[in-house]
């Protein structure tokens, strides 16, 4: 499996060289949208920066089996000034809107790798970004992502010092609490113990954790995916992890998952399975007292993303209930979905599970 992952990754990397100056100096994308904050509904300001790419994806093991975010990278010619220009392009375009808004904001800065990897985001650039955020009062929460090996007490303390009393979360791709699935099916290169060590380090620095769970990794059945997700949700809630972000697999280009999907050896997850996982994982409202659960599936309703069937109305209904649950953190929305008149695809879903 590793050889196939490496072959697919090498093919992708060859296509990432020689980007134009415009692409080097503008972010991959950025947006403002409604989002769930710690204790209320607010807005997100998300910026996706283009860097040299994830060190794990560029390394000897070829990266994670489902992740195609290396496609957003530039492996040869990008530098710190380019990345600063990307950040400022998004910042200058949205700052006025944020400052004139009464809503509180969560800023999410993603770079398709690790924010604390000095080869991707140098220390002086991180400090520059912190200083910009610190000057905007209604940005009350900050999220960045990192692999555990790039975290250090010094880096976290500097972030905390610069950002004051804002809620800070480090997004870590745990994917599952099951080491076997994570190491062998996802090729994550991180153990649960390493995740726990990162959690403890962040707590000591007064910084929260946003744990990413992958819904339906390759090589496991739909029913096993439900069991794995439920087990992971319950474990993380018991640990009082600040935020659980559930990410259903979507078929990203140049990945092992895409290769399996093209051979009919992998099927994208069903909305019915995701909703069942949430209902089974969060049995009572009390369970969300210390943990928020978020889920905004990429490609939802498309062939390559989580869907219930080919009918737009059916997928829209699922997305609406999921969004209402996330924004309200009210498990009642998960129960109300059962009261809706169900599409014929629900019967097909149950039949497929019976015979698979």
Averages of pLDDT over runs of 10 residues in the chain (356 residues) are 80 73 92 97 98 94 95 85 98 98 98 95 98 98 99 99 98 99 98 99 99 99 98 99 99 97 97 97 97 97 94 94 98 87 84 74
CA distances from 224 to 48, 217, 228, 277, 332 (A): 32, 10, 6, 11, 25
Whole-model pTM: value is 0.96
Please name the residue that has the structure tokens 């250090």.
152
Query: Which secondary structure element, helix H or strand E, spans residue 348, and what is its range?
Result: helix 345-355
Distance in angstroms (rounded) separating the CA atoms of residues 318 and 6: 36
Within 13 Å, how many C-alpha atoms sit on residue 95's CB side? 12
Please report the domains of the chain, with CATH numbers, ordered by start residue.
2-355 (3.20.20.70)
CA distances from 217 to 51, 227, 245, 269, 298 (A): 26, 12, 15, 9, 15
């Amino acid at each position: 499996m590793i050889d196939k992952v490496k072959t697919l990754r090498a093919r992708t990397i060859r296509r990432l060289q020689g980007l134009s100056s415009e692409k080097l100096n503008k972010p991959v994308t950025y947006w403002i949208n409604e989002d769930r904050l710690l204790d209320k509904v607010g807005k997100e300001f998300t910026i996706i920066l283009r860097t040299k790419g994830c060190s794990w994806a560029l390394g000897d093991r070829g990266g994670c089996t489902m992740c195609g975010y290396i496609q957003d990278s530039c492996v040869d010619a990008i530098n710190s000034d380019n990345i600063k220009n990307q950040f400022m392009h998004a910042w200058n375009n949205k700052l006025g809107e944020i400052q004139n808004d009464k809503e509180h904001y969560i800023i999410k800065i993603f770079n398709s790798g690790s924010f604390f990897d000095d080869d991707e985001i140098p220390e002086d650039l991180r400090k520059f970004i912190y200083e910009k955020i610190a000057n905007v009062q209604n940005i009350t929460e900050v999220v960045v992502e990192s692999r555990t090996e790039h975290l250090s007490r010094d880096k976290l303390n500097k972030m905390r010092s610069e950002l004051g009393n804002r809620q800070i979360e480090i997004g870590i791709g745990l994917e599952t609490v099951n080491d076997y699935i994570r190491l062998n099916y996802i090729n994550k290169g991180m153990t649960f113990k390493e995740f726990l060590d990162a959690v403890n380090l962040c707590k000591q620095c007064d910084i929260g954790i946003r744990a990413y769970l992958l819904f339906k990794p390759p090589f496991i059945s739909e029913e096993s995916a439900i069991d794995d997700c439920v087990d992971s949700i319950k474990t993380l809630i018991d640990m009082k992890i600040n935020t659980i972000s559930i990410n259903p697999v979507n078929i990203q280009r140049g990945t092992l998952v895409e290769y399996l999907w093209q051979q009919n050896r992998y099927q994208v997850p069903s909305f019915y399975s995701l909703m069942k996982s949430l209902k089974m994982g969060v049995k009572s409202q009390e369970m969300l007292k210390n943990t928020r659960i978020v889920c905004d599936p990429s490609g939802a309703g498309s062939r390559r993303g989580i869907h219930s069937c080919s009918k737009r109305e059916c997928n829209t209904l699922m997305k609406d209930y999921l969004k209402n649950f996330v924004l309200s953190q009210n498990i009642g929305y998960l129960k109300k979905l059962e009261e809706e008149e169900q599409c014929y695809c629900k019967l097909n879903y149950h039949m497929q599970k019976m015979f698979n």
